[in-house]
Amino acid sequence: MRTFTKADFCNVFYAHRGLHDREGSIPENSLAAFRKAVEQGYGVELDVQLTLDGQVVVFHDDSLQRMCGVEGKVWEYPLSEIRKKRLLNTQEKVPLFTEALEILSKGSGPLIVELKTGPRNRELCQKTLSILRDWSGMYCVESFDPRIVYWFRRNAPKIVRGQLAQPEENYPLPRLPARLLAKCRLSFLTKPDFIAYRIGPVPRTVERMRQKGTALIGWTSKSAAADAGNWDALIFEHCVPPEGGQGRRNKGGEEHA
């Protein structure tokens, strides 16, 4: 299995949920958005979660309402029902993770896989890891949920892992857990290789981690040219990164059994 270092994921611009557009003609986390990112050679960030019957699909929200116009959560439907739904009234379906990877193997830059918190976190981690181990591209994982990051530390320590975080007021949680997550206070357990933080000021705790070697990725930039100098890498949408700021194509890495 090829492994990479956090440096392989720095100095890269990642298309947030693929290279989708404001109008919705190319929906986020769709195969069309991933094809567009491949055409431009950008890195890609995408989200995975489980269906009721345990299939790994690419979808961001818990609810299907915003993207598919129906009630319910992804994990409440089997794949056969999920596949009948369309993204933003286009012909695009909710893709399987394996379908997205098939497209991304054709020339995108590095891949960041965000694992969404759900009722079966362990199963999602296991199945996502199994799929990634069969893929030839460059990838890392991240999550807002420290339990998921910790799972990868324990079960796949050679895979680059990241802790997603944001300011305290953006967490729909009581004050204490929100503060702990915002300041990445559980990083002594998860040992992330990078912190992916919401664009803006970051806490001193995160700055200290960066000074000690933890990479810092900004999300989600709406002005990549202006933000580029402040972060080790950027996740962007609806803007054009600076010339020469495309994702680096898959290369390097070390082989491990």
Residue 247 is predicted with a pLDDT of 57
pLDDT digits (tens, 9 = 90+) for 76-133: 999 999 999 999 999 999 999 999 999 999 887 899 999 999 999 999 999 999 999 9
**Domain segments of the chain: what residues?**
2-241
d(CA 3, CA 193): 13
CATH 3.20.20.190 fits 2-241, yes or no: yes
Distance of CA 60 to the CA centre of its chain: 9
d(CA 14, CA 241): 10
Kindly write down the DSSP assignment for every residue of 114-129, as one continuous string. EEPP-TTHHHHHHHHH
Match 């390097």 to its residue by tokens.
Answer: 252
CA dist list (Å): 90 to 29, 55, 61, 79, 226: 13, 22, 18, 19, 33
Instruction: Note the pTM of the prediction, 2 decimals.
Output: 0.95
Residue 3 is predicted with a pLDDT of 80
Residue 257 is predicted with a pLDDT of 28
147 band by pLDDT with thresholds 50, 70 and 90: very high
Is residue 142 a contact partner of residue 149, using CB atoms and an 8 Å limit?
yes
pLDDT digits (tens, 9 = 90+) for 159-217: 999 999 999 999 999 999 999 999 999 999 999 999 999 999 999 999 999 999 999 99
SS3 2: strand
Segment 4-22 shows an average pLDDT of 96
- Where do runs of H (alpha helix) occur along the chain? 31-40, 65-68, 79-82, 97-104, 121-133, 146-155, 175-182, 187-190, 204-211, 224-227
